[in-house]
Amino acid sequence: MNEMMIETRNLTKKYKGTRAVDALNLAIPRGEIYGFLGPNGAGKTTTIRMLLGLIRPSSGVVQIFGQDLKRDRIKILRRVGSLVEYPSYYGHLNAVENLETIRRILNVPKTRIDEVLHTVGLTKDAKRHVKGYSLGMKQRLGIAAALLGSPELLILDEPTNGLDPSGILEIRELIKKMPQEQGITVLVSSHLLSEIEQMASSVGIVNQGKMIFQDSISNLQRKAGSEIHIALSDAEAAMITVREQGCFARLDQGKLIFKGIDDGQIARLVSALVDARHSIYRVEERRKSLEDLFLTMTSGASGSASEIAAIGSGAPRGAGLRKEVAQ
């Protein structure tokens, strides 16, 4: 139990004095879907490149399957499948030929090609030139390539980047099946909290190269806390009833807002309010959104107002963060 698939100690990468990755301690147990979360430019891809031996760490240790990456790189990579940033493909070849170039290096039986194509749902398009594929299909081919060697560990960097909603859904379902059906441990990075929330079982949040949170996704959600909002006819008068019940509410735009109350209390409150002839329109639970939580965590580390704005708002995020990458 709790065997670590990936473990890094004080992993650091310096580029001209700035630390792209700063003393990072990753710990990913077997069978998890580990969400690696952070804004673009936080050091996610740099970390993943170090995990795969594509770049050398300035200092620190990477251990995968308990083996030192520096010493046993080839042996480790044999058991790892990866997709870093963009799916790479040979456009003049079809899907089978593309996978064949990789199969020859991995030395696995030819039947694996059909199996992985089936897994990602590309069997029908297997004989088409990859040039003509949609982005979602290319991404699925990339995942097929990563799965080809029957890896125990799958490392996916932003696998849903640039996909449309149905593409995102497909990839997400694919990833969620991995640990159950094939016993694969998955490291998946994203800059979207909602993405990670929907597939990961544990999560690590990085910002400016530093790990600011690493725990199970449920602990992250617990940390986020929740509120009960009750919308009703006369909120101000209802405050008195609430107080009689021994609860404390905040009044906000004709709604009563409760923090940290349990189910029994809610039931008693509602019946008391009904008895007091209030019309109750709506009782809803509102979790403090993880986006807000993420914001408080990351802003604590950076303190830069513009960056917070870029993370906080949904749509302009891409533009704001692309600038960071360019730096």
Partner 1 sequence: MNTWISALRSERIKLGRSQILLLAVFAPLISMLIGFLANLDSAGSEAEAWEGLLLAMSMLHAMFFLPMMTGIFSAFVCRYEHAGGGWKQILSLPVSRSALYMAKLLTVAGALALSQLLFSVGLLIVGAVKGFDLGSVPWDVLSARLIGGFVACLPLAALQLFVSTMWSSFAAPLVLNMIFTVPNILIANSATFGPYYPWVQPLLAMLPSGGGYDFGAFSLPFENLMITVGGSFVLFLAAGLIYFVRKPV
Instruction: Report how many residues bind partner 1 under the rule CB under 8 A.
Output: 33
The whole-angstrom distance between residue 233's C-alpha and the CA centroid of its chain comes to 41
Q: Examine residue 108 and tell whether it contacts partner 1 (CB under 8 A).
A: no
Candidates 44, 49, 140, 191; binder of partner 1 (CB under 8 A) is 49
- Shortest gap between Cβ of 109 and partner 1 (angstroms)? 14
Give 42 or 102: the residue with its C-beta nearer to partner 1.
Answer: 102
Stretch that binds partner 1, among 89-97, 181-189, 200-208, 280-288 (CB under 8 A): 89-97
Give 9 or 129: the residue with its C-beta nearer to partner 1.
Answer: 129
Dist. CA 310–CA 303, nearest whole Å: 13
- Shortest gap between Cβ of 173 and partner 1 (angstroms)? 23
Give 114 or 173: the residue with its C-beta nearer to partner 1.
Answer: 114
Dist. CA 207–CA 202, nearest whole Å: 17
Contact 322, 162 (CB under 8 A): no
- Dihedral-angle region of residue 226 (phi above 0 means left; psi in -120 to 50 means alpha; beta otherwise): beta
Q: Examine residue 107 and tell whether it contacts partner 1 (CB under 8 A).
A: yes
Q: Examine residue 257 and tell whether it contacts partner 1 (CB under 8 A).
A: no
- Shortest gap between Cβ of 35 and partner 1 (angstroms)? 20
Tokens for 112, please give them. Answer: 């694996």
* Cβ neighbours around 141 below 10 Å, total: 25
Dist. CA 297–CA 290, nearest whole Å: 10
Dist. CA 41–CA 28, nearest whole Å: 22
Q: Examine residue 87 and tell whether it contacts partner 1 (CB under 8 A).
A: yes
- Shortest gap between Cβ of 124 and partner 1 (angstroms)? 21
Dist. CA 273–CA 45, nearest whole Å: 53
Binding flags for partner 1, 132-151, as an x/- string (CB under 8 A): ----------x--x---x--
Give 85 or 324: the residue with its C-beta nearer to partner 1.
Answer: 85
- Shortest gap between Cβ of 53 and partner 1 (angstroms)? 8
Q: Examine residue 304 and tell whether it contacts partner 1 (CB under 8 A).
A: no
Dist. CA 204–CA 218, nearest whole Å: 13
- Shortest gap between Cβ of 61 and partner 1 (angstroms)? 19
Strand-pair partners of 37 = 190, 205
Give 79 or 288: the residue with its C-beta nearer to partner 1.
Answer: 79
Binding flags for partner 1, 168-207, as an x/- string (CB under 8 A): ----------------------------------------
Which residues inside 6-35 make contact with partner 1, applying CB under 8 A?
none
Candidates 104, 166, 236, 303; binder of partner 1 (CB under 8 A) is 104
Distances (CA, A) of 30 to 61, 150, 154, 257: 19, 15, 11, 41
Dist. CA 57–CA 121, nearest whole Å: 37
Tell me the residue type at 233. S
Give 54 or 274: the residue with its C-beta nearer to partner 1.
Answer: 54
Contact 189, 30 (CB under 8 A): no
For residue 252, the 8-state DSSP code is E
- Shortest gap between Cβ of 135 and partner 1 (angstroms)? 11
Residue carrying the six token digits 């996916």: 156
Dist. CA 145–CA 231, nearest whole Å: 52
Question: Which residues of the chain form contacts with partner 1 (CB under 8 A)?
Answer: 49, 52-56, 74-75, 77-78, 80, 82-90, 92-93, 97, 100-102, 104-107, 142, 145, 149
